[in-house]
Amino acid sequence: MYLRLLSFEKFVCRSSLPLLFLTLVLVGACSNSSEPAPATTATPAPEASIPSGRGNENILRLLFWQAPTTFNPHLTSNQRDWNASRIIFEPLATFDKEGNLIPFLAAEIPSLENGGLAEDGRSVTWMLRQDVRWSDGEAFTADDVLFTYNYITDPDVGSASAANYGGIESVEALDEFTVRVNFSDVNPAWSLAFVGVQGLILPQHVFEGYEGGFGCEAMAALQPPGTGSYRLATCKPEEVLFLGNELVQTIRVIYEPNEFFREEGKPYFNRVELLGGGTVNEAARQVLQTGTIDYAWNLTLDNVTLAELEALGVGRLITNFGSRVERLQINFTDPDQTTATGERSSLQFSHPFFSDPRVRQAFSYAIDREAIAALYGPTGSPTSNILVSPANFASTNTSYEFNLEKAIALLDEAGWVDTNGDGIRDKDGDRMKVVFQTTVSPLRQRTQEIVKEALESIGVEVEIKLIDAATFGNRDPDNTNNAWHFYADMQMLFFGNRSPDPAPYMEQWVCAQIPQQENEWAGSNIERWCSPAYDALLAEAATEIDPERRAQLFVLMNDMLVNEFVMIPLVHLGVAGAVKNDITGVDLTPWDVDVWNIMDWRRSTP
């Protein structure tokens, strides 16, 4: 059994005081449109001369207003954590913005021509680079790849990356620099394993040493080596902020150049500082107005504010379009009932009104997607699909409509009417009230206002709940305010497929992925919807080698989720970041995190 390294989850040194616990861990862990938009858009950087040489430039400052909580990329599904760990760790390969595989730790991309891909589709052989060392000087070998596979697929670990490794029968280290992945059947999705942010390779010689229990003292001394261009130097808790009713700890992570990095002259900065925590408004202004930060991520501000800040001329916006969809998740279970063991949103209790598809459809009619998308300007377009990219997987069979009259008619038909004249619909003694939760973000709060106003106009009481983003995304099983516990009726968030192959993304809605107390809320089917027919479609796609038929299967899965109103897709998102004008080399891809090529980032001189 492998202990969950560098994570907030299941620490033996938990404290009953949240701030104390967070501080201890941080000290130790630092831890109607379906057409896809263009991959990236950006305002051009000014031309300037660029110095050369490893570490010759000054400090690169990054600001992630959602602070990272772990450096273990396989125990998280959050962008903030992946970015923090991606600076250190690397995969065998990743996808660029055009969807092309490019090698990192692999010497070449496997193909039929070079013999890497087996003709029967049941195995792939990776040739590894032989000039790679971990940042502590140890050699990188096939044993590290094999260890990473065993770690990710160990059920005791509960890895969030495990879906990318389904269908693998075995992984073999054929020699020191050759790895063969054997599949249990024909596998058209061979490029999922060890590729992208969920394919980051862990150092066996460090992680293997912590298979048993240990205290916080060991974590304080552990600085995990990586093969990336920078290594982790320090991680310190900073000031404490109050956001609403939430107590939020900010952090400062320091990275230094990896002296063993294989590319001569890289990286270019002598230090990278990642500041975590704060607010999205503060993040945008520190890049675009004051210039004290070089790069800020995920700027969920309205398009007018962002345009005004960019016009100041200090920095530029860069938008990454891909597969992300902001959606309203609908709870199929009752968050207000509690089992004998203390579980809420339990499969034992169906939701009092969302169990009726007519009610779910009525709520869909009550959502004005056009008005919500207008908040995002050029970084968002309304959508009726949950799978939007690549283009061949985007369904043309779905649609959306904002129609309050149809919503009212459906609620009346379902028997939810206002029997006592208080303006709120009720049935069998239950009031139609929803708790609608999401993260603290100006755009999301404005979206909540649009949704709340429409629902209240048709007789639905809406209670707004705001949760700090770090808390909402923290998968600690004791954190009842996270997205997976889903102690609300509706919640809003975004995510999408992490690879051009959508199989792991669509696997999130199989029955076995429902988060519940018995699996410590580790599943990804947050809505708690279960359909054997959906599971069968995904199983068929796992071995379908005809690309057209396989695409049709994913379209059918999308249509089932949308037409049964498992969730309500809102906006196909382009995620906006901001970069100072003197920073070059930022080249976003929708299939990896923002810092995937940080080795190429540098500062120009006028």
Question: For 55-98, how does the pLDDT look when each residue is reduced to its tens digit (9 = 90+)?
Answer: 677 999 999 988 887 788 888 888 888 999 999 999 999 999 88
- Type of residue found at 300: T
Instruction: Identify the CATH class of 321-574.
Output: alpha beta
Average pLDDT over residues 39-50: 45
Longest distance between any two alpha carbons in the chain, whole Å: 76
Task: Specify the residue for token string 């500082």.
Answer: 273
The Cα–Cα gap between 563 and 534 comes to: 13
- In whole numbers, what is the pLDDT of the chain averaged over residues? 87
Of 505, 508, 493, residue with least CA distance to 575: 493
User: With bands split at pLDDT 50, 70 and 90, how would you rate the model's confidence at 45?
Assistant: very low
CATH code, 18-297+582-603? 3.40.190.10
Direct distance between the N- and C-terminal alpha carbons of the chain, in angstroms, rounded to an integer: 54
8-state DSSP, 364: H
- What tokens appear for 442 in the block? 């100006």
Average pLDDT over residues 147-158: 89
Per-residue pLDDT tens for 404-461? 999 999 999 999 999 999 999 999 999 999 999 999 988 899 999 999 999 999 999 9
The Cα–Cα gap between 480 and 314 comes to: 41
8-state DSSP, 198: G
Q: Around 252, how many Cα atoms within 13 Å sit in the side-chain half-sphere?
A: 11
Per-residue pLDDT tens for 344-397? 999 999 999 999 999 999 999 999 999 999 998 888 999 999 999 998 899 999
Secondary structure of residue 323 in the 3-state scheme: strand
- Type of residue found at 446: R
User: With bands split at pLDDT 50, 70 and 90, how would you rate the model's confidence at 467?
Assistant: very high
CA distances from 379 to 211, 370, 571 (A): 44, 13, 9
**Confidence (pTM):** 0.73
The Cα–Cα gap between 512 and 196 comes to: 25
Contacts of 465 (CB under 8 A, 6+ apart): 435, 436, 437, 438, 488
Task: Indicate where the chain has its CATH 3.10.105.10 domain(s).
Answer: 321-574
- Type of residue found at 492: M
- Type of residue found at 129: R
Secondary structure of residue 419 in the 3-state scheme: coil
Q: Which letter, b or e, does each residue of 382-420 get, where b requires 16 or more Cβ atoms within 10 Å of its Cβ?
A: bbbbbbbbbeebbbeebebebeeeebbebbeebebeeee
Per-residue pLDDT tens for 504-538? 899 999 999 999 999 999 889 999 999 999 999 99
Strand order of the β-sheet with 178-183 is: 123-127, 178-183, 168-175
Task: Indicate where the chain has its CATH 3.40.190.10 domain(s).
Answer: 18-297+582-603
- pLDDT on residue 378: 82
* CA 307 to the chain's CA centroid: 26
- Type of residue found at 566: V
- pLDDT on residue 393: 93
Of 411, 434, 432, residue with least CA distance to 358: 411
Per-residue pLDDT tens for 244-266? 555 566 888 899 999 999 999 99
